[in-house]
Structure 1
Amino acid sequence: MILYIDTASNMTQVSILKEDKIYLEILSSEKQQSKNILSMIECLLMKSKSQKRDIKFIAFNSGPGYFTGLRIGFSCAQALSSALNVPIFPISSFQALGLTLYEVNKTMPIGVAIDARMNEIYWCSFDKFENTFLSYNEKQILSIDEFSKKLNSKVYDNGNICGNAIDMYSNNLSFKNKNIVKEPSHNTCLPILKRIFQDKLYNINKNPNIEYLRNKVTN
């Protein structure tokens, strides 16, 4: 059984994959995330008729995203991994969103735009799919103007862009393509995490941590 914790945005998502069935809890709040995660896990265990000892693999969203939420999610995942003596695996916000969109469209390139606050956007693009993961082309922080240019470039005329920054900065942006995917569900990453667990690909990262793109972080 796989547990996935995602606290990178203003939504707290916790999900379990058991026997190819997905159980999901979502809370649209950043408040009391630490307490909420534990109660959400307990709720999922009840729904799936499971116990904590049934968890064999833990994954968490390692960012980039909202700093406080990332720390809470990482701490919870780390504590559970240690208590249950099971492997832990970080999956970045970029990969989580990009893989979800790729599973739907199967086309490249893919652009991912995540709110970085301070009127900035965490931006990443992928140009190919290799060995379960997407291959990074670039990762950077963009201003709203720079992001608008990315959106309106011919490269993304197919609408292969996702992430919460599109909704949050929509008033400041002009779109050539009106069908851009704004918020794919991280929930669809669970089958991918299952392959990572089965193939023991988690061994490639024995020191999981949070991913930042700027030295100065904000809440």
Structure 2
Amino acid sequence: MKLLALETANEQCSVCLIEDSHSVFFALNEQAKAQTQTLLPMIEQGLQQQGWTTSRLNVIAFSRGPGSFSGVRINAAVTQALAWANDLPVIAVSTLQALAQAAYRLHGLTEVTAVLDARMNEVYIASYQLDANQIMQAVDQEQLLDYAAATQAQRFTVVGSGAQLLDAEATQYKTVCPNAQDIATIAVPQAQQQNWVSAEQALPVYLRDNAWKKIPEQGKP
């Protein structure tokens, strides 16, 4: 099995190639908001390094949000284009689940509340626990909440860019950020079970219904 994993839902950009459950290529570009310039060249670099073409892939996994509106949109658009062009199935992975997986990968945390700064005094939030296969699984629903409501919804140690917005003392894990390795880790078991969808179902998840509007227009009736 050959899997391509993409992550641009945060401000960074990363690509991972998996062959038979093993990572054979990983690239990360931490330049903020440069996904449109870096994602396709990084994919091409990985494929060339392995001597693969997109037609040799079996599945594409991508971070479907919630997260940066432009980053989520870019990730979904590139995934759909590649999947359509090569008749490939797709696995959509929650950015919050990937954040929880990163907390396990980086710090060994097995119970976390993943929190991303959603701007406008709100956060994206969901809680996760590690299962027997070392995959973080959701124990509640993804939500877009204001700080007070999110503080009430917090179950475990908070991680991610929104952590300090809920707890001023939560500085240890505020820099935890998911990358394509975490997307791949979550996607591989799903790919093995062929738990995937077609390209037209590779849809972004924003949680905020008016995410497409300019910030000054958001929240207006």
- Whether TM-score is above 0.5 comes out as yes
TM range (shorter): 0.7 to 0.9
What amino acid sits opposite 1:53 in the alignment?
S
Matches within 5 A, 1:40-189: 40-102=42-104, 105=108, 107-108=110-111, 110-126=112-128, 129=131, 134-147=137-150, 155-156=155-156, 160-166=157-163, 169=164, 173-175=167-169, 179-180=172-173, 182-186=175-179, 187-189=181-183
Q: Which has the higher contact order (CA 8 A, sep 6+)?
A: 2
Cα deviation for residue 190 of structure 1 reads 1.8
Preserved contact between residue 148 and residue 174 of structure 1 (Cα < 8 Å): no
CA distance in 1, matches of 2:49, 2:117: 32
Correspondence 1:18 to 2:12: no
Partners of 1:212 and 1:134 lie apart in 2 by 20
Aligned pairs, number: 208
Task: State the identity as a percent.
Answer: 24
Counterpart residue type for residue 217 of structure 1: A
Query: TM-score, normalized by length of structure 1?
Result: 0.78
**Aligned-partner Cα distance in 2 for 1:173–1:60:** 30
> SS of the residue aligned with 2:41?
helix
Q: Give the CA deviation at 1:30.
A: 4.8
| Deviation, structure 1 residue 2 | 0.8
CA distance in 1, matches of 2:78, 2:199: 18
Contact 1:113 1:164 in 2 (8 A): yes
1:82, 1:146 → 2: CA distance? 40
Q: How large is the Cα RMSD of the aligned pairs?
A: 3.1
Structure 1: which 5+ residue stretches go unaligned? Answer: none
Higher mean C-alpha deviation, range 20-29 or range 114-123:
20-29
Q: CA deviation at 1:203?
A: 4.9
CA distance in 2, matches of 1:120, 1:144: 6
Q: CA deviation at 1:181?
A: 6.3
> Is contact 1:161–1:182 with CA below 8 Å preserved after alignment?
no
Normalised by the length of structure 2, the TM-score is: 0.78
Is 1:216 paired with 2:210? Answer: yes
Please, which runs of 5 or more residues in structure 2 have no aligned partner?
Answer: 215-221
